[in-house]
Chains A and B, each alone.
Chain A
């Protein structure tokens, strides 16, 4: 597989355009603030004791981080294909001896590794808490797995939308719109009758993360996210292919 060069190019581009530093900074600042407030409110709730860290801190902390994902991930994915089309460099990539799927995987892995890096940096929060409190690592790990799968789903969706347009701003806003729709599909239970609601509930990214954040890894949830990711990567390949057949640059 000829994936590495594209991956390296995209990662270099994140760092040379300093977007990586900006996003890491924003992410750490916001998540640090959320962590601080979540621990404060845990202290108040736990006055009488009996509340676990998982129920009292991590559940809220992870839920808060999803909002930062929503803010940050469209900014990471918007340029991946839109910029190539805009610059015309897609004509280089598509005539080099490299398959569409290899280009896609290289481009997919770049924001993914940035996401991993960011998540690794946030481990400093539980580590700092561990100095004064007993932290159960397994439920924490489940929560991080949930965050990782959610972030990866966002990336897959963002790449797909980036392959549809040559305008990066359009790509970012449309990604945000689609993700919010997937997220709040079940916000109001009055919008649909119960049978339809049951289907919608299964599709909602929002509801799928809940088990992870409570420290439970359900294989059905894992499979849902993996299917979601592959579905959007598959759509991206189709979109790249159709761009070629339609003869657009």
Chain B
């Protein structure tokens, strides 16, 4: 449904996207994950024909985003990151405008507007001015304008950012209910959200795709990567430096200060390296005391962090 090949985007002297490629099949829900500024929004804007690519090809349902821009746009419902809306318009007037622009015929327009109002829980505010709505309702208006013409592909840029937990749960439920019959490409910097809503995850960092797989496979791929909590007695700075020097260790972080000399460190190590032995050897050779050491499981959040730190 969506095919991206060797896509590069350059803004002036900054490369926002560097040669990224991925494919999304019909009916799939794919999460697009990455820290802020990693190129998520730029990618989505190219997919939705808002920005042209610098090089590479992007096709949606077989149509090129440059050559057949109108065909692409007809198939996509786009939810932009900042949910831009016309504050002085009424919800119903706005949806009527969007429906007309998107080519919904006069006869079915009323019904489609009604449907999307119902679906997004806007019935109570349909005749209110958008500018007076709360953030949660504005977000729903943003979703309603996406759904108004029943597009087969939904591209959602951070759909739950800035909402309170209850609203987040509602929006996620709504998206989940939509994913049954549609292809969804959803960007987020929140892992649980992506893992909850999507079959597959693409992780982008600094304009490059660094991982692309199902959630389970991603976890399996990194299961060998390890994490240790160690409690060491010894001069703090030296211990830290000593631990960091161990080959295979990616990151050392102070987790807890027990006393002046006793710290708990979290050590992240790359996959396929056994650092446990090394840790105890280093501590022993430096004449510090190893008070505790245990391996901890990584959750998705940590896998994500690990991927990013490994790359840089």
Interface string of A82-94 (1 = CB under 8 A from B): 0000011111111
- The reply to whether A247 and B51 form a contact with Cβ atoms under 8 Å apart is yes
Give Cα distance in the complex from A89 to B100, angstroms. 16
- The reply to whether A87 and B87 form a contact with Cβ atoms under 8 Å apart is yes
Interface string of A59-102 (1 = CB under 8 A from B): 00000000000000000000000000001111111111111000
- The reply to whether A92 and B103 form a contact with Cβ atoms under 8 Å apart is no
- The reply to whether B50 and A6 form a contact with Cβ atoms under 8 Å apart is no
B52 within 8 A of A: yes
- The reply to whether B49 and A92 form a contact with Cβ atoms under 8 Å apart is no
- The reply to whether B78 and A95 form a contact with Cβ atoms under 8 Å apart is yes
Given A2-B101, A245-B52, the answer on whether A95 and B76 have CB atoms closer than 8 Å is yes
- The reply to whether B11 and A247 form a contact with Cβ atoms under 8 Å apart is yes
B206 within 8 A of A: no
Binds B, one of A11-19, A46-54, A121-129, A229-237: A11-19
Give Cα distance in the complex from A91 to B100, angstroms. 17
- The reply to whether A94 and B97 form a contact with Cβ atoms under 8 Å apart is no
Chief secondary structure at chain A's binding surface: helix
- The reply to whether A97 and B100 form a contact with Cβ atoms under 8 Å apart is no
- Report the minimum CB–CB distance from A248 to chain B (whole Å): 9
Give Cα distance in the complex from A94 to B74, angstroms. 12
Give Cα distance in the complex from A98 to B100, angstroms. 10
- The reply to whether B88 and A5 form a contact with Cβ atoms under 8 Å apart is no
Residue in B80, B84, B85, B98 with the greatest tally of chain A CB atoms within 10 Å: B84
Give Cα distance in the complex from A17 to B98, angstroms. 20
Given A17-B88, A97-B70, the answer on whether A5 and B97 have CB atoms closer than 8 Å is yes
A210 within 8 A of B: no
- The reply to whether A97 and B85 form a contact with Cβ atoms under 8 Å apart is no
A183 within 8 A of B: no
- Report the minimum CB–CB distance from A13 to chain B (whole Å): 7
List the A side residues contacting B51 at CB < 8 Å.
244, 247
- The reply to whether A4 and B87 form a contact with Cβ atoms under 8 Å apart is no
- Report the minimum CB–CB distance from A172 to chain B (whole Å): 18
Give Cα distance in the complex from A237 to B74, angstroms. 22
Given A95-B73, A95-B76, the answer on whether A5 and B100 have CB atoms closer than 8 Å is yes
- Report the minimum CB–CB distance from B162 to chain A (whole Å): 14
- Report the minimum CB–CB distance from A85 to chain B (whole Å): 10
- Report the minimum CB–CB distance from B235 to chain A (whole Å): 51
- The reply to whether B84 and A2 form a contact with Cβ atoms under 8 Å apart is no
List the A side residues contacting B97 at CB < 8 Å.
5, 8-9
- The reply to whether A95 and B82 form a contact with Cβ atoms under 8 Å apart is no
- Report the minimum CB–CB distance from A168 to chain B (whole Å): 14
Q: Report the interface size for chain A: residues with CB under 8 A from the other chain.
A: 26
Minimum CB distance partner of B97 in chain A: A9
Given A13-B88, A87-B86, A244-B51, the answer on whether A98 and B80 have CB atoms closer than 8 Å is no
- The reply to whether B101 and A95 form a contact with Cβ atoms under 8 Å apart is no
List the A side residues contacting B88 at CB < 8 Å.
13, 16-17
Which residues in window 247-273 of B have CB below 8 A to A? none
Give Cα distance in the complex from A44 to B98, angstroms. 58
Partner of A97, one of B11, B74, B80, B87: B74
- The reply to whether B86 and A89 form a contact with Cβ atoms under 8 Å apart is yes
B93 within 8 A of A: yes
Interface string of B61-73 (1 = CB under 8 A from A): 0000000001001
B59 within 8 A of A: no
- Report the minimum CB–CB distance from A1 to chain B (whole Å): 12
Give Cα distance in the complex from A97 to B93, angstroms. 19
Minimum CB distance partner of A99 in chain B: B70
Minimum CB distance partner of B86 in chain A: A89
Residue in B11, B50, B74, B80 with the greatest tally of chain A CB atoms within 10 Å: B50
B102 within 8 A of A: yes
Partner of A88, one of B49, B74, B80: B80
Give Cα distance in the complex from A6 to B70, angstroms. 17
- The reply to whether B50 and A96 form a contact with Cβ atoms under 8 Å apart is no
B8 within 8 A of A: no
List the B side residues contacting A5 at CB < 8 Å.
97, 100-101
- Report the minimum CB–CB distance from B252 to chain A (whole Å): 39
Minimum CB distance partner of B49 in chain A: A95
Give Cα distance in the complex from A127 to B78, angstroms. 53
List the A side residues contacting B9 at CB < 8 Å.
247
- Report the minimum CB–CB distance from A25 to chain B (whole Å): 20
Minimum CB distance partner of A93 in chain B: B101
- The reply to whether B102 and A95 form a contact with Cβ atoms under 8 Å apart is no
List the A side residues contacting B87 at CB < 8 Å.
87
- The reply to whether B73 and A92 form a contact with Cβ atoms under 8 Å apart is no
Give Cα distance in the complex from A247 to B103, angstroms. 27
Give Cα distance in the complex from A87 to B89, angstroms. 13
Contacts A4-B100, A88-B84, A97-B73 known; 7 new A-B pairs at CB < 8 A: A89-B86, A91-B50, A92-B98, A94-B49, A96-B102, A247-B11, A247-B51
Report 17 cross-chain contacts, Cβ distance below 8 Å, ordered by A residue: A5-B100, A12-B89, A12-B93, A16-B88, A87-B85, A88-B82, A89-B84, A90-B84, A91-B84, A93-B101, A95-B49, A95-B78, A95-B80, A97-B70, A244-B51, A245-B52, A247-B51
* Chain A interface residues (CB < 8 Å from chain B): 2, 4-6, 8-9, 12-13, 16-17, 87-99, 244-245, 247
